[in-house]
């Protein structure tokens, strides 16, 4: 297990974060949330007045912020230029801008290089959109989590901080839009790897999903 890489991909609200953290904690592995890195990059762009509809501006600026990703599944933490942004990267403003930033090839090149460095020799659960396809195509365990749009909208809505609260209908529209953008971009879109194990979490509890993934890890290592 010391060298295993567990790749967990899927659309928003499919349960990736809770499942990935649970599996990492259960198996004593590190945990990397690559979505948090794209969010932190987006947060920095918004704060520094970068026009996030302008790919040229995004490409020119994306080398500037200094991102640091923690890998503790019990306390995931991300900092930008030393500031802990774990909470502000979850605002709907960042969420609704992140797909435009993450579609820019220069952003992906920089963050994928950082992700590979953190993965290093393994012992880690990595969640995202392109982990099994691009970041760690050699990962021995690849999971693609899905769930119905309704289930994903309810879950995401329930996770929003009180000052970000909105209706399930608005959250549903926001995740449908984000999935469409993430799946249709030219550079490493959200896609299931050919050798990934697809798991529909709609009717499963978190514990049931963690159990399945842990069993799969044991089977493949």
Would you tell me which residues interact with ligand C5P (CB under 6 A)?
12, 34-35, 38-39, 98-99, 102, 128-130, 178, 182
Helices and strands, counts by H and E, the chain:
8, 8
Q: Least distance in Å: CB of 157 to ligand C5P?
A: 14
Q: Least distance in Å: CB of 155 to ligand C5P?
A: 12
Cβ(42)–Cβ(97) under 8 Å?
yes
Task: Compare residues 112 and 217 and give the one whose CB is closer to ligand C5P.
Answer: 112
Tell me: is residue 88 an annotated ligand-binding position. no
Q: Least distance in Å: CB of 99 to ligand C5P?
A: 4
Residue with tokens 């020119």: 60
Task: Compare residues 61 and 130 and give the one whose CB is closer to ligand C5P.
Answer: 130
Tell me: is residue 56 an annotated ligand-binding position. no
Phi then psi dihedrals of residue 144, to 5 deg: -115, 110
- Residue 124: beta bridge partners? 5, 30
The pair of structure tokens assigned to 168 is: 């399930």
Task: Compare residues 28 and 98 and give the one whose CB is closer to ligand C5P.
Answer: 98
Tell me: is residue 16 an annotated ligand-binding position. yes
Task: Compare residues 172 and 178 and give the one whose CB is closer to ligand C5P.
Answer: 178
Q: Least distance in Å: CB of 218 to ligand C5P?
A: 25
Tell me: is residue 17 an annotated ligand-binding position. yes
Give me the sheet containing 197-200, strands edge to edge. 30-33, 124-128, 5-9, 141-146, 197-200
Tell me: is residue 86 an annotated ligand-binding position. no
Phi then psi dihedrals of residue 33, to 5 deg: -100, 100
Burial of 197 (0-12, 13-18, 19+ CB in 10 A): middle
Write out the binding residues.
Answer: 10-18
| Residues annotated in a binding site for ATP | 10-18
């Amino acid at each position: 297990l010391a060298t295993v890489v567990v790749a967990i991909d899927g659309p928003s609200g499919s349960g990736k974060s809770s499942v990935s953290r649970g599996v990492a904690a259960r198996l004593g592995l590190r945990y990397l949330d690559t979505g948090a890195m794209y969010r932190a990059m987006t947060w920095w762009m918004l704060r520094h007045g970068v026009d996030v509809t302008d790919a040229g501006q995004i490409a020119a600026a994306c080398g500037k912020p200094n991102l640091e990703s923690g890998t503790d599944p019990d306390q995931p933490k991300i900092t930008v230029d030393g500031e802990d942004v774990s909470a502000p990267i979850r605002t709907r403003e960042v969420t609704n801008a992140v797909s435009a930033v993450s579609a820019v090839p220069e952003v992906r090149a920089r963050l994928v290089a950082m992700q590979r460095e953190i993965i290093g020799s393994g012992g880690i659960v990595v969640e995202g959109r392109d982990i099994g396809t691009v970041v760690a195509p050699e990962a021995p365990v690849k999971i693609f989590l899905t769930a119905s749009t309704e289930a994903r909208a309810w879950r995401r809505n329930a996770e929003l901080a009180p000052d970000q609260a909105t209706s399930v209908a608005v959250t549903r529209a926001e995740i449908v839009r984000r999935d469409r953008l993430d799946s249709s971009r030219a550079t490493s879109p959200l896609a299931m790897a050919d050798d990934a194990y697809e798991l529909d979490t709609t009717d499963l509890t978190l514990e049931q999903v963690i159990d399945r993934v842990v069993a799969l890890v044991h089977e493949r290592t």
